[in-house]
Amino acid sequence: MKNIMLWIFEIAVVVLFAFVLVYFFGQSRMNVGQSMELTLADGDRVLLNTLSYRVGSPKRNDIVAFKPNGSSTSRTHIKRVVGLPGETIQIINGMIYINGSVYLEKADYTPMNDGGLADEPITLGVKEYFVLGDNRNNSEDSRYADIGLVNADYIEGKVWFRVSPSDALGPVK
């Protein structure tokens, strides 16, 4: 009887560990569209880290998955965080300005043809983020009213790993 109870306990621990691992690091989402190319292609399946934003907050350049305006019926969008809470964002001549200074990105993105709502300065609230797709001229993102600023409550998690297609398997930068 003691061996059976030990065996049941070990199985319960493994199942609990697997559940926690999948719940916090294994939720998957599919990238839809070309807005994140060259980083992610249309149809790429990625895993989310949902724990990181429960204990911290998104950082600049994080790739996040979110529901626009918290809509439970809309598809999940995947974009890169550019503006953080409290900052003022503006796009002038295709360049991003944060708090009045040009933001020089680590990657070489094509300058934006349309600043959208960010043609005028946008000041982010305490829980708001400004997100852009990496394919800046083919992305529906915070520059447009349909997406707008992303509230922290609507962010599902940080994109951290690509699981398909298999030839592109690996961490997402």
User: Do the beta carbons of residue 59 and residue 158 sit within 8 Å?
Assistant: no
127 is catalytic: no
79 is catalytic: yes
Between the two ends of the chain, the Cα-to-Cα distance in Å is 51
Secondary structure tally for the chain: helices H, strands E: 2, 12
Distance separating alpha carbons of residues 32 and 68, to the nearest angstrom: 14
Q: Return the HEC string of 47-63.
A: EEECCHHHHCCCCCCCE
Of the candidates 52, 67, 79, 158, the residue annotated as catalytic is: 79
Distance separating alpha carbons of residues 124 and 87, to the nearest angstrom: 6
Distance separating alpha carbons of residues 172 and 75, to the nearest angstrom: 20
Q: Which two tokens stand for residue 67?
A: 């529901």
- Catalytic residues, by residue number, are 35, 79
